[in-house]
C-alpha cells in the first residue's frame, strides 16, 4: 500500500437548516373554524467526519472543499412534522486529526469507523399548533427553522503505524520496507528518493502483522526545515517502536555522528519521540565481510552504549530476528499503553481521600 500522499486539507462544512414551522387550520366539513394544526419543521442534517480504511489520503479534498448537509423540510398541515434533512458523512483516512481555525484539536480519528459530529443541523421551527391558548384559539404564529452550524476545519493525516523508520537519506529505509512489506516504494542510490511517507504491512505470520511507516530521510537541521524538514515526523509519532537505520558502508565515526544527529532532530521535533522504544540497525551489511561486520558492530555499540543489530535487506540477513524483536517490543508497548489508559480512566480523586 503506497499512499498517494496528500496529508493536509481545509474544508468548510454547513449543517442543514431546520425547516420552518407552518400556520395551518383544520378544515373539516361542518366545522366552521377548525383548530390550528400547523406541523413543525424537520431538523437540518448533521455533518459527521468518519474514519474509513478504504480512504487512503486527503487528496479528494483538493477538488471538493465545501460540504452541505440537507435542510429540514417545512412542516405541513394536519400536524405533520417536516422530514428531517439527511445527515452527511465525510469519509477521511484512518489517522485523521480534525482541528478548528485556532488549530485546536477537535478529534483524533485513529480507528476505522470513528465518528466526529462536526456540525449540528438546525432545529425545525414550531408550527402554529403550539401557540394555541385559552385567549387565542386561532394563532397565526409559527417560527422559522434555526440555521445549521457552519465551520471551517483543518484535516491533517498522521499515519497510524506500529514501526517508524528513521534514518539519513540513502540509509536503506525504503528498501527495508519493500522487502518486508507489501509496499512498493521508490528506491534509488541518491538521497531524498522518498519525498512523501509510505506505509506497508509486514505479515510475520497469519496472526501477526506490523504496520511500518517509511518517511523521507532526515539530515542535520531538519527541525529548522533543512532537507525535507521534519514535517513528516508526525507520521511516526503514534508508532510504538522506532527502527533507526545506519548505513554500514560508512565509517564508524560517520555512523555515530549520524545517529546523534537523528536523535537531536527527533528531540527538537518532539521529546516524546525520544521516549519511544527503539532498535538501532546497521544496514547493507552484505557489503562488508563477516569480520568487518563484527568489528564495526562492536565499535558502534561501544560508542552508542547500546546494542546494534546487523541487517541486509537485499541479502535477507538478520531480517527475521529483527522483525521478531520489533514485534515483541511493539506488543509490550501497546499492552503498557492500554494499562496506562485503564489506570487513567479508573483513577478518581475520591479514592485518594
Ligand atoms: N548492498 C545493499 N544495498 C542496499 C541495501 N538496502 C538498500 N540498499 C541500497 O541503498 C540505496 C538507498 O536505498 P533506499 O532504500 O532508497 O534508501 P532510503 O533510506 O529510503 O533513502 P531516502 O528515500 O533517500 O531517504 C539504494 O541504492 C539501495 O539499493 C542492502 O541491504 N544492501
Ligand atoms: Mg526512501
**Among the bound ligands, the one closest to the CA of 312:** 1
Asked whether 184 lines ligand 1 (CB < 6 A), one says no
Reading the block at residue 233, the C-alpha cell is 515526523
pLDDT at 200 over 80: yes
Please check whether residue 236 is in contact with residue 186, taking contact to mean a CB–CB distance below 8 angstroms: no
Residues 6 or more apart in contact with residue 112 via CB below 8 angstroms: 51, 52, 53, 94
Across 238-246, average pLDDT = 93
b/e string for 316-332 if b means 16 or more Cβ within 10 A?
A: ebbbeebbebbbebbee
Q: Which of 169, 175, 235, 281 to mutate to test the pocket of ligand 1 (most atoms within 8 A of CB)?
A: 175
Q: pLDDT digit string (tens) for 114-146?
A: 999 999 999 999 999 999 888 888 899 999 999
More confident residue, 315 or 192: 315
Per-residue pLDDT, 276: 93
pLDDT at 171 over 70: yes
C-alpha cell at position 131: 401557540
- Whether the CB-CB separation of 298 and 290 falls below 8 Å is answered with no
CA distances from 154 to 51, 99, 299 (A): 15, 5, 48
| 196, 59 contact by CB (below 8 A) | no
Q: Average of pLDDT values for 83-87?
A: 97
Residue of minimum CA distance from atom 12 in ligand 1: 170
Q: Residue 165 CA: which ligand is closest?
A: 1
Does the pLDDT at position 198 exceed 80?
yes
Ligand 1 neighbour 317 (Cβ under 6 A): no
pLDDT of residue 191: 83
C-beta of 143 in contact with ligand 1 (< 6 A)? no
Q: What angle do CA 56, 195, 105 make, to 5 degrees?
A: 55
CA distance 227 to 335: 36
User: In this model, does residue 305 exceed pLDDT 90?
Assistant: yes
* C-beta of residue 71 within 8 angstroms of C-beta of residue 19: yes
The set of cell numbers assigned to 284 is: 547493507
Higher pLDDT among residues 238 and 204, named by residue:
204
Pair 300, 256: CB distance under 8 Å: yes
First to last CA, the chain: 52
Ligand having the closest approach to the CA of 185: 2
Best CA proximity match to 44, nearest among 154, 125, 109: 125
Tell the residue nearest (CA) to atom 13 of ligand 1.
Answer: 172
Angle of CA points 225, 194, 155, to nearest 5°: 65
- CA-wise closest residue to 238 among 212, 201, 208: 212
Kindly give the distance from the C-alpha atom of residue 297 to the centroid of ligand 2, in angstroms, as a whole number.
23
Average pLDDT over residues 173-185: 91
Q: What is the pLDDT of residue 348?
A: 55
Task: In whole angstroms, give the CA distance from residue 130 to residue 149.
Answer: 25
In the predicted model, is pLDDT for residue 351 greater than 50? no
pLDDT band at 350 (very low <50, low <70, confident <90, very high): low
The answer, yes or no, to whether residue 185 has pLDDT greater than 90, is no
Around Cβ 256, how many Cβ atoms within 10 Å?
Answer: 17
Please tell me if the CB atom of residue 185 comes closer than 6 angstroms to any atom of ligand 1.
no
| Mean pLDDT estimate for the chain | 89
| Distance in angstroms (rounded) separating the CA atoms of residues 330 and 242 | 10
Q: What percent of the chain has pLDDT over 70?
A: 93
CA-closest candidate to residue 172, choices 315, 305, 346, 5: 315
Task: Look at residue 257 and tell me whether its pLDDT is greater than 90.
Answer: yes
C-alpha span between 272 and 266 (Å, rounded) = 9
| Structure confidence by residue, pLDDT tens digits, 7-58 | 789 999 999 999 999 999 987 777 666 789 999 999 999 999 999 988 877 8
pLDDT in tens, 154-163: 998 877 689 9
| Residue 97 near residue 158 (C-beta atoms within 8 A) | yes
pLDDT tens digits, one per residue of 209-223? 898 988 888 888 887
The pLDDT score that the predictor gives to residue 353 is 39
Residue located nearest, by CA, to atom 8 of ligand 1: 172
Strands 8-14 vs 308-310: parallel, antiparallel or unpaired: unpaired
Residues 98-107 as b/e (b if ≥16 CB within 10 A, e otherwise) read beeeeeeeeb
| C-alpha to C-alpha distance for 186 and 2, rounded to whole angstroms | 10
- What grid cell was written down for 68? 452541505
- What separation in Å is there between the alpha carbon of 212 and the centre of ligand 2? 13
Kindly give the interhelix angle for 173-180 and 319-346, rounded to the nearest 10 degrees.
90
The pLDDT-based confidence of 320 (bands split at 50, 70, 90) is: very high
Q: Cα-Cα-Cα-Cα dihedral of 89, 53, 114, 14, to 10°?
A: -20
Q: Is 166 exposed, middle or buried (0-12, 13-18, 19+ CB in 10 A)?
A: buried
Amino acid at each position: 500500500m503506497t499512499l498517494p500522499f496528500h496529508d493536509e486539507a481545509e474544508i468548510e462544512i454547513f449543517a442543514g437548516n431546520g425547516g420552518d414551522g407552518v400556520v395551518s387550520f383544520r378544515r373539516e366539513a361542518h366545522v366552521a373554524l377548525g383548530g390550528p394544526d400547523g406541523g413543525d419543521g424537520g431538523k437540518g442534517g448533521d455533518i459527521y467526519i468518519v474514519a474509513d480504511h478504504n480512504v487512503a489520503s486527503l487528496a479528494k479534498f483538493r477538488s471538493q472543499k465545501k460540504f452541505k448537509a440537507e435542510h429540514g423540510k417545512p412542516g405541513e398541515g394536519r400536524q405533520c412534522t417536516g422530514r428531517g434533512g439527511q445527515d452527511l458523512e465525510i469519509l477521511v483516512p484512518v489517522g485523521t486529526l480534525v482541528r478548528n481555525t485556532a488549530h485546536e484539536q477537535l478529534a483524533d480519528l485513529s480507528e476505522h469507523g470513528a465518528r466526529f459530529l462536526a456540525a449540528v443541523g438546525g432545529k425545525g421551527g414550531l408550527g402554529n399548533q403550539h401557540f394555541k391558548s385559552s385567549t387565542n384559539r386561532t394563532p397565526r404564529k409559527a417560527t422559522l427553522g434555526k440555521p445549521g452550524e457552519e465551520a471551517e476545519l483543518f484535516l491533517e493525516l498522521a499515519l497510524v503505524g506500529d514501526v517508524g523508520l528513521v534514518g539519513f537519506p540513502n540509509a536503506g529505509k525504503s528498501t527495508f520496507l519493500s522487502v518486508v512489506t507489501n509496499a512498493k516504494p521508490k528506491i534509488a542510490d541518491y538521497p531524498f528518493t522518498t519525498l512523501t511517507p509510505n506505509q506497508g504491512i509486514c505479515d510475520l505470520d497469519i496472526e501477526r502483522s506490523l504496520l511500518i511507516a517509511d518517511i523521507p530521510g532526515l539530515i542535520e537541521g531538519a527541525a529548522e526545515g533543512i532537507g525535507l524538514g521534519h514535517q513528516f515526523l508526525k507520521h511516526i509519532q503514534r508508532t510504538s517502536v522506532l527502527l533507526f537505520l545506519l548505513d554500514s558502508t560508512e565509517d564508524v565515526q560517520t555512523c555515530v555522528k549520524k545517529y546523534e544527529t537523528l536523535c537531536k532532530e527527533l528531540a527538537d521535533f518532539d521529546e516524546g519521540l525520544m521516549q519511544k522504544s527503539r532498535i538501532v540497525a546497521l544496514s547493507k551489511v552484505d557489503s562488508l565481510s563477516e569480520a568487518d561486520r563484527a568489528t564495526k558492530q562492536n565499535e558502534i555499540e561501544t560508542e552508542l552504549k547500546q546494542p546494534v543489530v546487523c541487517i541486509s535487506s537485499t541479502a535477507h540477513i538478520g531480517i527475521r530476528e529483527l522483525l521478531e524483536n520489533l514485534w515483541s517490543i511493539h506488543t509490550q508497548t501497546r499492552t503498557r499503553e492500554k494499562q496506562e489508559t485503564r489506570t487513567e480512566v479508573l483513577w478518581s480523586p475520591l479514592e485518594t481521600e
